[in-house]
Amino acid sequence: MSINQRKRAYLKGARAEWIAALYLQLKGYEILEKRFKTPMGEIDLLARKGKMLVAVEVKTRDTLEQASMAVTSLQKRRIEKALLFYLAGKTYSLDLRFDVVLLSPWKWPYHIQGAWIVQ
């Protein structure tokens, strides 16, 4: 992948995460972190609504179906480990949930609450 392709991919991802964050805020979520990086992986968005802490994976593709298929089991495990890393220094007690926001051109964002459960 060339530098220009990487830059375009980065900008596309940043734009998708900005749209997803705005969408979630309109739904009453407070965005706590964007692109939270850990040694285990990255969480696109960390949000809070009431007593729920939500790790959000954002996917953008040509169709919503392609976006939904892009969330792999390996990514899910990395996000779970990254969330544990985030929680390590926190003292508050919140319920946890893993959501996905799917994006495709000319479509409203599609928010899947509780997209997966930790096993």
Domains of the chain: 3-116 (3.40.1350.10)
Question: Quick one: CA dihedral 79, 64, 113, 58, positive or negative?
Answer: positive
Contact 51, 95 (CB under 8 A): yes
> Percent of the chain having pLDDT more than 70?
99
Q: Check residue 119 and give its pLDDT.
A: 65
Number of neighbours of residue 61 by Cβ within 10 angstroms: 16
Residue 52 identity (one-letter amino acid) = M
In whole angstroms, what is the distance from residue 30 CA to residue 21 CA?
9
pTM for the whole structure: 0.91
- Cα 109 to Cα 20, 53, 74, 112, 114: the distances in Å are 7, 20, 23, 10, 16
Q: What is the pLDDT of residues 59-77, one digit of tens each?
A: 999 999 999 999 999 999 9
